[in-house]
RNA sequence: GCACCCGUAGCUUAACUGGAUAAAGCAUCUGACUACGGAUCAGAAGACUUGGGGUUCGAAUCCCUACGGGUGUACCA
């Protein structure tokens, strides 16, 4: 539509304007029309008032394009009436198409890295947001025509895992997931917490005998042991390496369970233990080329002050890597593995600075793929009681939360008497789907870059702006369609659309645009909010338009229902939400 | 100190990236089940878009400024 408007401007006023300079909105309800063109920008070409310009443009469009059935001009706004025939044609096309909501392949490859956990503690609510975002963005990019590689970079080495290991050695008495019945990640997490507790005790004692806090922190035996373990790990000590492998193995088993429950997965897993030595060569190369410089102590730096950033360390004086070195190396490794056009990092916004620097460094190194990096930065998750703080034990554990959501779904569903006729196993399936939908939708509907307030009570709400509401709408459509039989063939498109039908048709049409937009912005919230709109609009249509009893438009309404169900189902797929046939 | 992000009805979020009278959900009040599914629908009430300037036909959106909240500024990852 923007295209034909731009073309018309060119034809009328002999000036070439790009399609993108045409803004088209849905017409506000209080005016007549379907789409609205803003005519202010064209007055420069037409040298006439906005009203006159709108009038001329409207007349031209109506004469030259049959899908324009009429128009009206209000101030600088040209309201176009799109013909019913056009809308009906669109619905026909969607019904006929087997893959609504999938753009043809665009030949581009994109990697989405998400999750990226540490192996010293279980996943929490913040990770859930990360995982859902990463997974959903991957699905959306796929729908938009990309070939997508989902990757996970696991931080499996460093002092943090050594802390768990040290505590387990000292206090564990050989406890394993099997012997304790605990999930592996929780077991390891338990020792991480224990480390912290005992460590603090030791610090306290040392300070009592006259040490300063810093001295005590350094001298505490437990910390000494952890550091010793890290050294031994780096030297490849077989005993430490074995323990490290065993405990990480427990954690992976635990993560796997949580990932499965969340419905996320990965095509490629990277481990920091494999990648932490990478990047050094690239830095040395950059030193030679003069992109980086050495300080007198021999450490390597980059000066980014010209870009408003500061100096950043790339190699320590002893030649060892830091986080940035490693990320440079991993970025190169990823590219060598896949030669992707874009690389998305789903990482919290506390690392905004890090990724700015990373991009800038890669750019300076002349990596042609540097411009394809994108940091999908998301805000922290807050609780009504405030920030989640692991120190204060206010972290919401991922597994607990999932259990709680399902339990709550069970409770609410039984209370409504919704699942009475279902067999026991199907009931449990339903509770799971509904509970997870509530959780996922609640976390995805908010713009990623904003902080998110997670209210456990509100999140399990099954009414209003929620996942279950959308699921319910879908289930009801299915039920109607089952009663009616398959829509055979629609009535001759000779009739007029009423307001509810038209609203629904317009919204259905918008689906493809929605996918493209959210792919461009890496923003699943666009899809989530669209789906809610759609469900709401359908419910209104459903109430005001008897479907099975209608004689004149029955087939058409069934067709509309069917395509709505398909789009809702497809949309939820993009968010990673399951659609129950019955609920 | 400096840098970046955020501030929209009581609460949680939208606003098609600068467009018309700022849109929903929750909560509150009112109404609708002999109907194809009431986990629904219809209606009421609720906002000087944190304050103050500016840019222009037009600002929640862009610029400046003040205030409030957050994050970063590690030879941790």
Alpha-carbon distance A217 to A203, whole Å? Answer: 6
A17 CA, B55 C1': separation in Å? 24
Report long-range pairs for A246-250 (Cβ below 8 Å, ≥24 apart).
Answer: A247/A119, A247/A161, A247/A164, A247/A165, A247/A168, A247/A188, A248/A119, A248/A156, A248/A161, A249/A184, A250/A176, A250/A177, A250/A184, A250/A185, A250/A187, A250/A188
B71: residue with closest CA to C1': A350
Q: Is the CB of A474 under 7 A from strand B?
A: no
Mean pLDDT, consecutive 10-residue stretches, chain A (583 aa), reads 82 80 85 90 86 92 91 91 88 88 95 95 95 97 97 93 95 95 96 92 91 88 93 93 96 97 97 91 92 92 86 90 93 97 96 94 93 94 81 84 94 89 90 96 95 87 93 94 70 70 91 93 96 95 85 84 95 96 86
Q: Is the CB of A278 under 7 A from strand B?
A: no
Alpha-carbon distance A48 to A100, whole Å? Answer: 42
In this complex, the nucleotide whose C1' atom is nearest to the CA atom of residue A457 is B26
Q: Is the CB of A525 under 7 A from strand B?
A: yes
B21: residue with closest CA to C1': A30
A310 CA, B12 C1': separation in Å? 38
Supply the pLDDT for residue A450. 93
Both tokens of residue A219?
A: 């001298």
| Nearest by Cα to A7 from A57, A67, A80 | A57
A297 CA, B69 C1': separation in Å? 41
A167 CA, B50 C1': separation in Å? 49
Q: Which of residues 132-161 of A touch strand B (CB under 7 A)?
A: 155, 157-159
Supply the pLDDT for residue A20. 74
- Kindly list the distances between the CA atom of residue A262 and the CA atoms of A52, A132, A283, A420, A491, in Å, as whole numbers in the listed order: 56, 8, 38, 27, 43
pTM of the predicted model, to two decimals? Answer: 0.94
């Amino acid at each position: 539509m923007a295209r034909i408007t731009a073309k018309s401007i060119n034809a009328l006023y002999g000036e070439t304007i790009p399609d993108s300079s045409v803004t088209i909105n849905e017409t506000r309800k209080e005016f007549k029309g379907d789409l609205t063109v803003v005519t202010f920008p064209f007055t420069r070409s037409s040298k006439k008032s906005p009203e006159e310009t709108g009038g001329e443009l409207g007349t031209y469009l109506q004469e030259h394009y049959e899908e324009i059935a009429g128009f009206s001009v209000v101030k600088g706004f040209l309201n176009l009436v799109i013909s019913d025939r056009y809308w009906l044609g669109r619905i026909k096309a969607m019904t006929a198409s087997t893959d609504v909501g999938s753009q043809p392949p665009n030949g581009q490859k994109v990697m989405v890295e998400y999750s990226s956990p540490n192996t010293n503690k279980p996943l929490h609510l913040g990770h859930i947001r990360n995982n859902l975002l990463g997974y959903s963005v991957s699905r959306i990019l796929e729908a938009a025509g990309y070939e997508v590689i989902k990757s996970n970079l696991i931080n499996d080495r460093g002092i943090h895992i050594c802390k768990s290991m040290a505590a387990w050695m000292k206090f564990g008495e050989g406890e394993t997931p099997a012997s304790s019945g605990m999930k592996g990640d929780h077991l390891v997490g338990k020792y991480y917490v224990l480390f912290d507790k005992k460590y603090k005790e030791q610090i306290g004692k040392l300070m009592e005998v006259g040490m300063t806090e810093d001295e005590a922190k350094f001298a505490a035996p437990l910390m000494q042991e952890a550091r010793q373990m890290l050294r031994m790990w780096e030297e490849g000590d077989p005993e430490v390496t074995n323990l490290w492998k065993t405990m990480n193995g427990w954690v992976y088993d635990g993560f796997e369970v949580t990932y499965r429950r969340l419905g996320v997965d990965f095509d490629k897993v990277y481990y920091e233990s494999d990648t932490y030595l990478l990047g050094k060569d690239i830095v040395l190369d950059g030193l030679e080329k003069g992109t980086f410089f050495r300080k007198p102590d021999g450490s390597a730096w980059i000066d980014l002050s010209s870009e408003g950033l500061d100096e950043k360390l790339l190699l320590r004086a002893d030649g060892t890597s830091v986080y940035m070195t490693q990320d440079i190396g991993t970025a190169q490794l990823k590219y060598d593995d896949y030669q992707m056009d874009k690389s998305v990092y789903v990482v919290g916004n506390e690392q905004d600075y890090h990724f700015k620097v990373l991009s800038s460094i890669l750019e300076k190194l002349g990596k042609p793929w540097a411009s394809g990096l994108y940091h999908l930065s998301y805000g922290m998750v807050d609780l009504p009681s405030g920030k989640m703080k692991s120190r204060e034990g206010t972290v919401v554990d991922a597994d607990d939360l999932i259990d709680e959501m399902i339990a709550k779904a069970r409770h609410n569903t039984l209370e409504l008497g919704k699942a009475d006729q279902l067999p026991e196993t199907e009931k449990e399936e339903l509770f799971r789907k509904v509970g997870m939908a509530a959780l996922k939708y609640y976390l995805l509907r908010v713009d990623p870059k904003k902080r998110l307030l997670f209210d456990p009570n509100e999140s399990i709400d099954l009414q209003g702006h929620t996942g279950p509401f959308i699921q319910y709408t879908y289930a009801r459509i299915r039920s109607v369609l089952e009663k009616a039989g398959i829509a055979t063939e629609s009535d001759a498109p000779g009739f007029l659309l009423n307001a509810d039908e038209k609203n629904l048709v317009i919204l259905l049409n918008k689906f493809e645009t929605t996918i493209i937009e959210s792919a461009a912005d890496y923003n699943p919230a666009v899809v989530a909010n669209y789906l809610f709109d759609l469900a709401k609009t359908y419910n209104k249509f459903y109430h005001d338009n008897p479907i099975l009893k209608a004689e004149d438009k029955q087939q058409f309404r069934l067709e509309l229902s069917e395509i709505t169900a398909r789009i809702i189902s497809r949309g939820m797929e993009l968010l990673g939400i399951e659609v129950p046939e019955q609920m």
